[in-house]
Amino acid sequence: MPAVEATDAAESMRAAIGPRSLGAPFWRFFFVALFFDIGFGLYFFLINLYLAQVHFNEKSIGIVAGALTAGNIAATIPTGLLARRTGLGPMLMLCLLTAPLFGAARIVGIHLVPQIALAFAQGAAMCSYTVCFAPAIAALTNPQNRTIAFSLTFGTGIGSGVVCGLLGGVAPVWLRHVRPSLTQSSAMGLVLLLGCAITLLSLVPLARLSFPPLESSPTPAIRAVSTPFARRFLIMVAIWNLGIGAFAPFATLYLSGPLKIPLPRIGLIFSASQLLQVGGVMAAPLVYRRIGKEYGIATLQVATCLALALLYAAHTPAWAIAAYLCLSMFQYACNPAIYNLLMDRTQEDLRAAASAMQNLVTSCALAAAAAASGLLITSHGYAALFAVCAGLSLAGAALTSGMAWAREPSPSDPQSAL
């Protein structure tokens, strides 16, 4: 009889954490995220290459990328406060209405000052999605199926990058073949507009979705960062994003510039990196179950450091591409667990505020990284950037391991849910 009961319990647990248990509301949000990821994935694959085509250099592109993130920073605290008053749905609606419009305007404003202003506005608009994403998934799931929900959403979003890479690499060439009068920059601009239109499709499933109201609590932002875990977590997030955020805006420029790879091949490389990222994200929960979230994240951060070291030492395009693919897989495999770790170890009524604080720290780090890395590349080249990023990734791994050593009781993190 105990064996039968154990078997029934095991089957119940498997059912509880399977995709079918996630429910219709989660799947509606899943498609919101999917359209968002495809649309802006296509957009951000091409936007820096587009700016390079209209004669922006790495320094200017770094300033524009920093302005995008600065807008995110400026809007983070107001967005977190508004999300608590209006709910997650209205803030997501605001983002999905305005961010694609600012993105489309950037295709026309091809001078530095308009680019900085529009990038700032676009970053501020996109902040709502960044702040509300993790609390939305947490609100639509439970501790038993939350890990698979994060992994599915991240994995599918990254997998959509395969389509973005192929389409972004081939579509401008195809458009110029159909209309030879188009310039390379004009063809890229049309594909960028397509990305904005796809993002707007997110409004369709979002219109059929409702979220439970967020509970109010006094000084949520202060309470959200008042625990030792939260402080250690935010320091780690800052250092980690300084490391991975420094190279990310310049990856396609690195492939097209020093490596001299044509756009269609860049699209194939980007698509291959997305496939590897999907594999990494989907396989990562196995690592987390075996050694825990903190040690699992730290392991992947060390692997990211090694990939950057290989990229630093690469002397041929083939080795550089291989190192870049490994880098993409390892660094993105960390993201679901980092978001999940914060949600699991934060009280339910403080999750929106904690997510806003994480976004604020991440945005500050990314803004600093984008601006500084543009100057670093211009002055010392990509090799110096890879060395700095490798050191920051290793420091992030040390801090993540420290969070496991100093683990404290959590309000919502059953070990069985890893």
The string of pLDDT tens digits covering residues 169-178 is 889 999 998 8
Mean pLDDT of the chain: 82
Q: Is residue 15 part of a domain?
A: no
**pLDDT number for residue 214:** 63
Q: Which two tokens stand for residue 410?
A: 């959590």
In the numeric block, the tokens 């980007």 are attached to 270
How many CB atoms neighbour CB 146 within 10 A? 22
CATH code, 274: 1.20.1250.20
> What are residue 253's phi and psi, to 5 degrees?
-70, -35
Which structural domain range is residue 41 located in? 23-210+219-417
| pLDDT tens figures, 11-26 | 443 444 445 567 888 8
What lies within 8 Å, CB to CB, of 95 at 6+ separation is: 125, 126, 127, 128, 129, 132
**pLDDT number for residue 82:** 85
In the chain, the N- to C-terminal Cα span, in Å, equals 29
Q: Is residue 18 part of a domain?
A: no
Scored b (16 or more CB within 10 A) or e, 70-80 reads bbbbbbbbebb
Residue 224 · residue 354 · CB < 8 Å: yes
Query: What span, in angstroms and rounded, lies between the C-alpha atoms of 386 and 384?
Result: 5
**pLDDT number for residue 222:** 59
pLDDT averages per 10-residue partition of the chain, 418 residues? 40 44 85 93 91 86 86 83 84 94 92 93 91 84 78 78 86 91 91 95 91 60 66 88 86 86 87 82 77 84 93 90 91 79 74 75 82 84 92 91 62 42
**pLDDT number for residue 4:** 42
Residue 344 · residue 143 · CB < 8 Å: yes
Query: What span, in angstroms and rounded, lies between the C-alpha atoms of 389 and 393?
Result: 6
| pLDDT tens figures, 266-319 | 888 988 888 887 788 777 777 777 877 788 888 889 999 999 999 999 888 999
Rg of the chain over Cα atoms, rounded to whole angstroms, equals 21
| Burial class, 404, CB count within 10 angstroms (exposed 0-12 / middle 13-18 / buried 19+) | middle
In the numeric block, the tokens 């202060």 are attached to 222
What lies within 8 Å, CB to CB, of 392 at 6+ separation is: 239, 240, 242, 243, 246
**pLDDT number for residue 21:** 67
Residue 131 · residue 220 · CB < 8 Å: no
Q: Is residue 386 part of a domain?
A: yes
Q: Is residue 2 part of a domain?
A: no
Q: Is residue 1 part of a domain?
A: no
In the numeric block, the tokens 């647990």 are attached to 13
**pLDDT number for residue 363:** 77
Q: Is residue 412 part of a domain?
A: yes
Share of the chain above pLDDT 70, in %: 88
The pTM (predicted TM-score) of the whole model is: 0.69
Q: Is residue 16 part of a domain?
A: no
**pLDDT number for residue 216:** 53
**Sign, CA torsion 37/16/28/99:** negative
Q: Which of 317, 309, 333, 323 is nearest to 385 (CA)?
A: 309
What's the total number of domains in the chain? Answer: 1
Q: Is residue 168 part of a domain?
A: yes
